[in-house]
Homo-oligomer: A and B are copies of this chain.
Amino acid sequence: MRSLTTSPVMAPEGGGAMPTNIDTLCINTIRTLSMDAVQKANSGHPGTAMALAPVAYTLWRDVLNYDPANPLWPNRDRFVLSIGHASMLLYSLIHLAGIRDVRPGGVSNDRPALTLEDLEQFRQLDSLTPGHPEYHHTAGVETTTGPLGQGCGNSVGMAIAEKWLAERYNRPGFRLFDHHIYALCGDGDNMEGVSSEAASIAGHLKLGNLTWIYDSNHISIEGSTNIAFTESVHKRFEAYGWHVLELKDANDTGDMRRLLAEAKAETSRPTLIIVHSIIGWGAPHLAGTAEAHGSPLGVEEIRETKKFYGWPEDKSFYVPDGVPEHFQVGIATRGAAASQAWDDLFRAYRAKYPDEAAQLDHIFAGTLPEGWDRDIPVFDADAKGVASRASSGKVLNEIAKNYPWMIGGSADLSPSTKTHLTFDGAGDFQPPQWGGTYGGRNLHFGVREHAMGSISNGLALYGIRAYCSGFLIFSDYMKPPIRLSALMKLPVTYIFTHDSIGVGEDGPTHQPIEQLAQLRATPGVTVLRPADANEVAEAWRTLVRLTDRPSVLALSRQNLPTICRKTYAPATGLAKGAYVLADTDGRPDVILMATGSEVGLIVKAGEKLKADGIRARLVSMPSWDLFEAQPKAYRDSVLPPDITARVAVEQAAALGWDRYTGLAGETIVMHGFGASAPAEQLEVKFGFTVDAVVAAARRQAGK
Interface positions of A (Cβ within 8 A of B): 41, 43-44, 84, 123-127, 130-132, 134, 144-148, 187-189, 191-197, 200-201, 203-204, 220-222, 225-236, 238-241, 290, 410, 412-416, 428, 430, 434, 444-451, 473-474, 476-477, 479-480, 483-484, 486-487, 504-510, 513-514, 517-518, 520-524, 641, 653, 655-656, 658-659, 662-663, 670-673, 675-678, 681-682, 685
Given A221-B413, A521-B655, A677-B146 contact (CB < 8 Å): no
- A514–B187 Cα distance when bound, in Å, is 28
Question: A227's closest neighbor in chain B, by CB?
Answer: B444
A-B pairs with beta carbons under 8 Å apart, 20 shown: A123-B505, A123-B676, A125-B677, A146-B507, A147-B510, A191-B197, A192-B193, A193-B193, A193-B450, A228-B448, A235-B236, A238-B239, A477-B480, A517-B518, A517-B521, A518-B521, A523-B653, A641-B663, A658-B658, A658-B659
A84, A127, A414, A522, most chain B CB atoms within 10 A: A522
Residues from chain B with a CB closer than 8 A to the CB of A148 are 447
Residues from chain B with a CB closer than 8 A to the CB of A513 are 521-523
- A196–B149 Cα distance when bound, in Å, is 13
- A235–B675 Cα distance when bound, in Å, is 40
Question: A665's closest neighbor in chain B, by CB?
Answer: B663
Residues from chain B with a CB closer than 8 A to the CB of A520 are 655
Residues from chain B with a CB closer than 8 A to the CB of A451 are 193
Inter-subunit contact B446/A228 (CB<8 Å)? yes
Given A191-B446, A235-B239, A509-B132, A523-B126 contact (CB < 8 Å): no
Residues from chain B with a CB closer than 8 A to the CB of A220 are 412, 446-447
Inter-subunit contact B131/A676 (CB<8 Å)? yes
Residues from chain B with a CB closer than 8 A to the CB of A235 are 235-236, 238-239
- Among B147, B204, B476, which residue has its beta carbon within 8 angstroms of that of A230? B204
Given A147-B509, A448-B192, A518-B524 contact (CB < 8 Å): no
Residues from chain B with a CB closer than 8 A to the CB of A131 are 505-507, 510, 676
Inter-subunit contact B524/A447 (CB<8 Å)? no
- Among B228, B430, B477, which residue has its beta carbon within 8 angstroms of that of A444? B228
- Among B195, B446, B483, B677, which residue has its beta carbon within 8 angstroms of that of A229? B446
Inter-subunit contact A524/B673 (CB<8 Å)? yes
Residues from chain B with a CB closer than 8 A to the CB of A43 are 504-506
Residues from chain B with a CB closer than 8 A to the CB of A414 are 221-222
Residues from chain B with a CB closer than 8 A to the CB of A484 are 509
Inter-subunit contact A444/B514 (CB<8 Å)? no
Inter-subunit contact B193/A524 (CB<8 Å)? no
Inter-subunit contact B240/A228 (CB<8 Å)? no
The smallest C-beta distance from A375 to any residue of chain B, in angstroms, reads: 26
